[in-house]
Chain A
Amino acid sequence: MEKFDELKNLWNRQSLGLIPTQADEFLVKIESHIKQMRTGQQKTLFTLIILLVILISYSLWVLHTGTSRYTLGLGLMIGAIMVRVTFEGLSIFKFNSVKPDLAMIEFREKITKFYFWKNRVNRIFIPILYGIYLLGFTFLVPVFKDTLSSGMFLYVILSGYGFLFLFTFVVRKKVRKEKMILEFLKRVSET
């Protein structure tokens, strides 16, 4: 393997190019990054809690005052959102629970399981949830028609269905990306 040793020597004579920063400098960056990340997570959690409180309070109020169609429609929409948020939280938890310091083959197996699960959720459960959300929204359309001005009604209808249309694209893109990742991980295992 004399030829290979020559290649190895050649390889190790390379300059590192973009030489990394000093550890102290890097630590400052890391600490600010972690701080930013935690603030972001706290903000998200705070927003979700506020949203949840508003939705639950509104549901309770509607339960006493609204029509059964209104209650059902809103209940379906809120339920779908809550399940969606739970899935998202579970997904983050599952991904973070795969330790980064596992041996490559074990890491690949665990991460493949995670993406397989996520892909199944996005392909099967999320469309069902969107269907439920859509059903809830559709239940509310007559209520909107009766209570809103024609301009506002048109806006609610267009933005409501438009939002779902946009999310269909987002989910499709996610499913495709997950499939691509699964194919890549499969290639890693085949070697």
Chain B
Amino acid sequence: MERKAEFTKIFDAYYPKVFRLCKGYFNGDEQLALDTSQEVFLKVWENINSFKQDSELGTWIYKIAVNTCLMQIRKDNSRKEKNFTPFFQLLSENYSYEEELKIKKMYDCIQKLDERGKVIILMVLDEVPYPQIAKIIGIKEDALRVNIHRIKKKLTLCVQNGEV
């Protein structure tokens, strides 16, 4: 019962974050993001007892999410490489047409980044703290900051000019 209560808390707090990360990673493919998020939480459920309390919960969940996204390559590469454009109906009603185009461009530009850059920028966009991202990726914080600066610049330029 305690395990279930703990899982429910984790699920409620992190499912939207994991889903958003997966959706960005898979170029807006919601079905693939949904399947992957479910796989992430299946792993969370299976490994919840091995979670070490001394490490941060968010870091632990994001590590599982990033690795699960990477390993979707095992299942169906063609879907991952495909371009999905189902964004228009999914945006907030407050979006203008210009903003809709911009966000679609953001998805396209994120896909143009390398794999590590992709997951880093998705976590930056979700406001995951830098020390946490460094632990998730497994690099030093200084190196990460340099990386993030470069990726932010690339993304901003790409959304403006369509180039990476």
Interface residues of A in 14-68 (CB under 8 A from B): 14-20, 23-24, 26-27, 29-30, 33-34
* Cβ-based interface call for B138 (8 A): yes
Taken together as a complex, chains A and B put the C-alpha atoms of A12 and B125 apart, in Å, by 7
Q: Residue on B with the closest CB to A17?
A: B90
Contact of B20 among A16, A24, A102 (CB under 8 A): A16
B15 near A180 with CB under 8 A, answer no
* Cβ-based interface call for A184 (8 A): yes
A107 near B7 with CB under 8 A, answer no
Q: Residue on B with the closest CB to A103?
A: B138
B67 near A104 with CB under 8 A, answer yes
* Cβ-based interface call for A166 (8 A): no
B139 near A27 with CB under 8 A, answer no
Contacts A108-B70, A181-B73 given; indicate if A16 touches B64 (C-beta within 8 A): no
CB distance from B44 to the nearest CB of A (A): 9
Q: Residue on A with the closest CB to B9?
A: A23
B155 near A7 with CB under 8 A, answer yes
Q: Residue on B with the closest CB to A106?
A: B138
* Cβ-based interface call for A92 (8 A): no
Taken together as a complex, chains A and B put the C-alpha atoms of A26 and B43 apart, in Å, by 13
A105 near B139 with CB under 8 A, answer yes
Q: Mark A91-108, 1 if CB is under 8 A from B, else 0.
A: 000000001111111111
B50: A residues at CB distance < 8 A: 101
Q: Residue on B with the closest CB to A33?
A: B42
B12 near A23 with CB under 8 A, answer yes
B91: A residues at CB distance < 8 A: 13-15
* Cβ-based interface call for A190 (8 A): yes
Interface residues of A in 88-124 (CB under 8 A from B): 99-108, 111
A27 near B7 with CB under 8 A, answer yes
CB distance from B149 to the nearest CB of A (A): 8
A18: B residues at CB distance < 8 A: 19, 30-31, 33-34
B45: A residues at CB distance < 8 A: 27, 30
Contact of A190 among B46, B114, B135 (CB under 8 A): B114
CB distance from A136 to the nearest CB of B (A): 33
Taken together as a complex, chains A and B put the C-alpha atoms of A49 and B139 apart, in Å, by 46
B33: A residues at CB distance < 8 A: 18
Taken together as a complex, chains A and B put the C-alpha atoms of A111 and B74 apart, in Å, by 11
A105: B residues at CB distance < 8 A: 137-139
- 6 closest A-B pairs by beta carbon, nearest first, are A103-B138, A191-B114, A105-B138, A23-B11, A23-B8, A17-B90
- 25 sampled A-B residue pairs with Cβ under 8 A: A1-B152, A4-B155, A10-B103, A11-B125, A14-B90, A15-B90, A15-B91, A16-B19, A18-B33, A19-B16, A20-B15, A23-B7, A33-B42, A100-B64, A101-B64, A102-B63, A103-B137, A103-B138, A104-B67, A104-B116, A105-B137, A187-B114, A191-B114, A191-B115, A191-B116
